[in-house]
C-alpha cells in the first residue's frame, strides 16, 4: 500500500457526494474514485441481502482500481453490511452511522429527531446506538425516503416541492421542543439550508460528514499512507452509465 493510491468512496447514488465534498476539503492531495450506484438507488427501502450483494460488487470493483481505503458514504449500506465487508477485505473500510452521539453531547436530556432511511432505522446497528442514549435523552426516529429521490432526480432546486416534503416530515413534531436534528443519510445533507429555514434557530442540525473525513485522515496517518503533497484528483463513476448523473454529481460537488 502506498500514499499515491486512490481512495474509493461509494453510495447508493449521489448522497455520498456530500461526504466527498468534506473529504476533498480535508484531504486536498488525495486521489478519489467516487462510485454512485444510482442504477440500484434507493437502498433505503430494499432488503439487506440485496444491498449487501451490491456493496460486495462495488468493493471488488474499487479494489480492482487499486484503492488503499474504502469509505462507505452511506448510512444504509453501513447498517446492512459493514461488519461483513470488514471481514471480507483487509483494507481499511470506513462506515457511517447517524451522528446521534454528537447530538447527545449537546447537553443533558436532549430531544433529538434522527432522520434516516427506513432500513437504517430498523437495523440492529441503529438499535444498539439507540440503547446507548435513549435512557438519558428523548429520541424520535423519522424516516425520510422521499428526500433521496429528490436528490437523485435533480429536484433540489424545486423549492416548493422540497419545502412541502420537509414540512410533511416535520409536521408531527413540536419544533419548539426539539434540541437537535440528525441528518442520518448522506443525501439529506444537501437539504441543510432548507432545514435551517424551517427549524427554530436554536435547533442544531447535525451530520456525520466531517467526523467521517477526520476518521479517514487519522486512519491513513496511522498506516502511514496519507498523501500530503501534489495535486489531488476526483474521478466520478455511476452504475447507471447515465452521463446526466455524472453531470449532476459534479454540480452537487460544486466548483474546485
Ligand atoms: N445515502 C444513503 C444513506 O446515507 C442511502 C439513500 C438510499 O439509497 O436510500 O443512507
Residues 46-97: tens digit of each pLDDT: 999 999 999 999 999 999 999 999 999 999 999 999 999 999 999 999 999 9
| Confidence class for position 12, pLDDT limits 50, 70, 90 | very high
19 lines ligand 1 (CB under 6 A): no
Over residues 210-238, the mean pLDDT reads 96
Residue 255: its pLDDT value, please?
57
- Which residue, 168, 157, 111, is CA-closest to 251? 157
**How much of the chain exceeds pLDDT 90, in percent?**
98
pLDDT per residue over 193-203, tens digit each?
999 999 999 99
Kindly give the number of the ligand 1 atom that is closest to the alpha carbon of 42: 8
75 lines ligand 1 (CB under 6 A): yes
Which residue's CA is the closest to the ligand 1 atom numbered 9? 44
**How much of the chain exceeds pLDDT 70, in percent?**
99
Which residue's CA is the closest to the ligand 1 atom numbered 2? 74
To test ligand 1's pocket by mutation, which of 35, 36, 44 has the most ligand atoms within 8 angstroms of CB? 44
Q: Going by DSSP bridges, is the β-strand pair 31-36/233-238 parallel, antiparallel, or unpaired?
A: parallel
42 alpha carbon – ligand 1 mean position (Å): 7
| pLDDT above 70: residue 235 | yes
Residue 256: its pLDDT value, please?
45
231 alpha carbon – ligand 1 mean position (Å): 30
Supply the mean pLDDT for the chain.
Answer: 97
Q: Angle at which helices 75-88 and 124-133 pack, to 10 degrees?
A: 110
pLDDT per residue over 156-211, tens digit each?
999 999 999 999 999 999 999 999 999 999 999 999 999 999 999 999 999 999 99
212 lines ligand 1 (CB under 6 A): no
| pLDDT above 60: residue 238 | yes
Burial class (CB in 10 A: 0-12, 13-18, 19+), 167: exposed
24 alpha carbon – ligand 1 mean position (Å): 20
- Which residue, 15, 14, 13, is CA-closest to 183? 15
147 alpha carbon – ligand 1 mean position (Å): 10
Burial class (CB in 10 A: 0-12, 13-18, 19+), 149: middle
Kindly give the number of the ligand 1 atom that is closest to the alpha carbon of 12: 8
97 lines ligand 1 (CB under 6 A): no
> Is the sign of the CA dihedral 224, 77, 196, 100 positive or negative?
negative
Q: How far apart are CA 230 and CA 218, in angstroms?
A: 19
Catalytic residues: 74, 185
| Confidence class for position 2, pLDDT limits 50, 70, 90 | confident
208 lines ligand 1 (CB under 6 A): no
Cα distances (Å, whole numbers) of residue 30 to 7, 51, 68, 189, 246: 7, 28, 11, 23, 20
Over residues 210-228, the mean pLDDT reads 96
Amino acid at each position: 500500500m502506498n500514499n499515491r493510491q486512490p481512495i474509493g468512496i461509494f453510495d447508493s447514488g449521489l448522497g455520498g457526494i456530500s461526504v466527498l465534498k468534506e473529504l476533498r476539503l480535508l484531504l486536498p492531495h488525495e486521489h478519489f474514485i467516487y462510485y454512485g450506484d444510482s442504477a440500484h438507488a434507493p437502498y433505503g427501502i430494499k432488503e439487506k441481502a440485496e444491498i449487501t450483494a451490491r456493496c460486495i460488487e462495488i468493493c471488488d470493483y474499487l479494489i480492482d482500481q487499486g484503492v488503499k481505503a474504502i469509505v462507505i458514504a452511506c448510512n444504509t449500506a453501513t447498517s446492512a453490511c459493514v461488519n461483513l465487508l470488514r471481514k471480507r477485505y483487509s483494507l481499511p473500510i470506513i462506515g457511517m452511522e447517524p451522528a446521534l452521539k454528537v447530538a447527545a453531547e449537546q447537553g443533558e436530556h436532549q430531544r433529538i429527531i434522527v432522520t434516516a432511511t427506513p432500513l437504517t432505522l430498523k437495523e440492529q446497528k441503529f438499535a444498539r446506538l439507540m440503547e446507548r442514549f435513549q435512557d438519558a435523552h428523548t429520541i424520535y426516529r423519522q424516516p425520510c425516503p422521499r428526500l433521496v429521490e429528490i436528490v437523485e432526480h435533480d429536484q433540489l432546486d424545486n423549492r416548493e416541492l422540497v419545502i412541502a416534503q420537509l414540512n410533511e416530515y416535520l409536521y408531527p413534531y413540536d419544533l419548539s421542543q426539539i434540541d437537535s436534528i440528525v441528518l442520518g443519510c448522506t443525501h439529506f445533507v444537501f437539504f441543510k439550508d432548507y432545514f435551517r429555514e424551517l427549524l427554530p434557530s436554536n435547533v442544531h442540525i447535525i451530520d456525520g460528514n466531517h467526523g467521517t473525513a477526520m476518521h479517514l485522515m487519522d486512519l491513513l496517518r496511522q498506516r502511514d499512507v496519507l498523501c500530503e503533497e501534489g495535486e489531488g484528483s476526483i474521478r466520478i463513476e455511476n452504475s447507471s452509465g447515465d452521463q446526466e448523473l455524472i453531470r449532476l454529481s459534479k454540480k452537487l460537488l460544486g466548483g474546485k
